[in-house]
Structures are given as C-alpha cells and as structure tokens.
Amino acid sequence: QKEVEQNSGPLSVPEGAIASLNCTYSDRGSQSFFWYRQYSGKSPELIMFIYSNGDKEDGRFTAQLNKASQYVSLLIRDSQPSDSATYLCAVKNNTDKLIFGTGTRLQVFP
Amino acid sequence: DVKVTQSSRYLVKRTGEKVFLECVQDMDHENMFWYRQDPGLGLRLIYFSYDVKMKEKGDIPEGYSVSREKKERFSLILESASTNQTSMYLCASHHGAANSPLHFGNGTRLTVT
C-alpha cells in the first residue's frame, strides 16, 4: 500500500462546477496535510494546508480532513479553466519529511 | 516571500559526467530537500538536510550525494550521470515547524545523453 494515494485522473468537470479531489494516507501518526497545485512544466505551489479534523476554507478552496478515516480532500468551487492542473496531496508525519501522492490531473472544460 | 532558486532551468549532460545542481533559499530555513519527479512516479525524495553539514538519505539516494556547507545552499551531486537520471529535479525548503509548508524552486530539467 502506498503511503499517500490519489486517483491519477483525469478528473473532468465543466466550468462553474465543484471539483472534488481525494487523498488517503496510511500513517495514522500523520499530523499535517498539504495540497499543492502543479501546472505542466512548473514546480508545485502550495494551495493550503490543514491539520485539524473538519473543514478549512480559503476563497474557492476547501480542504477537508477526517483523521479517523485517514482521508483528506480538496474542493474547488466555481471551477475555472485556469484551475486545470495536477493537484498533489502531501502528508507530514512526526518527522520533517513530506510524503507526496502521485497527483490527480484536473481538467476544467468551458 | 520565500524564494528558492535553482541555478539551472535546463541541463544536458553526457553519461559519466559529474553534475552539480545548486539550490539557494533566502528565508533562513533549517530544512532543505531534493526531489526528483517522473511521470507516473510522482515526487520522490533523494536527500534532505536539517542543518549545515548534516544530510539524511531519502527514498532514492543511490547515485546521488549532497553538500550543505552553508545554511542557505544545498547542492545535489550526480557522481557519474546515467541516462536513468534524466528527470525533473526540484529543490525545496521549510522552517521545520509542524505546519510549515515546503517551498519549491522552479526545478531543473536534466537530460543525460
């Protein structure tokens, strides 16, 4: 079992819809969870992080964390074509290393 | 704003050459990391460093070494480049606090021919 798992996609959603990206992790000791966006040929950029159970909202983005189910998700409301990218889930345990999933490719079509 | 600078955006090297990839960060971060990214395999950790002159192996250290002589600079060295080291190399840094995110450089796309 991979430490951090994501569906590779592509996930295709129409413009204006909600995109839902999911991530599961295997280490119950994981403490912090990060979502990065990566455009083709570019380096990852941080969207948001979450470390407490529940929801955290930032603009059109909402991160959701359920530690009991070892599950973290990212919702993108009012999806735009400019949101088309690969979204990387990353998990930090009690060390300072981040373990990355392989990413989900999101396509938002007009 | 945190700035992580990688010295080269694109590099082409020959098999057997010694290759240096340089990374500098300007935010006094304790922790620095080198990843490589390949299609279908995601980001894989090569080496990381918690402090000057300190290094730890990541998940795929074979064929690589690192140097951290100054806090702001973390170098990745390919002792004898091979074609299977053709990849995108990403340097990153962070403070070390539990919720401190990684900040990435722009990446170096290395091709070994």
Q: Which of A32, A43, A45 sits opposite B98 (nearest CB)?
A: A32
* pLDDT at residue number B98: 66
pLDDT tens digits, B74-104: 999 999 999 999 999 999 998 877 677 889 9
Higher pLDDT, B101 or A59: A59
Ranking A62-76, A86-100, B44-58 by mean pLDDT, the lowest is: A86-100
> E strands within chain A?
4-5, 11-14, 19-25, 32-38, 45-50, 54-58, 61-66, 71-76, 85-92, 98-100, 104-109
**Mean pLDDT (chain B, rounded):** 93
Q: Which of A8, A34, A43 sits opposite B90 (nearest CB)?
A: A43
* pLDDT at residue number B38: 93
Higher pLDDT, B105 or B101: B105
| Centroid of chain to Cα B6 | 9
Nearest-5° Cα angle at A106, B4 to A18: 115
Residue B55 pLDDT exceeds 80: yes
Higher pLDDT, B98 or A41: A41
Q: How confident is the model at residue A82 (pLDDT cuts 50, 70, 90)?
A: very high
Q: How confident is the model at residue A1 (pLDDT cuts 50, 70, 90)?
A: low
Residues of A in contact with B33 (CB under 8 A): 97-98
DSSP helix/strand/coil, B103 = strand
Largest CA distance in chain A: 42
d(CA B103, CA A96): 13
**What residue of B is the nearest CA neighbor of A94?**
B98
DSSP helix/strand/coil, B67 = strand
Residue B41 pLDDT exceeds 70: yes
d(CA A43, CA A84): 15
Q: Is B32 on the interface with A (CB under 8 A)?
A: no
* pLDDT at residue number A89: 96
DSSP helix/strand/coil, A59 = coil
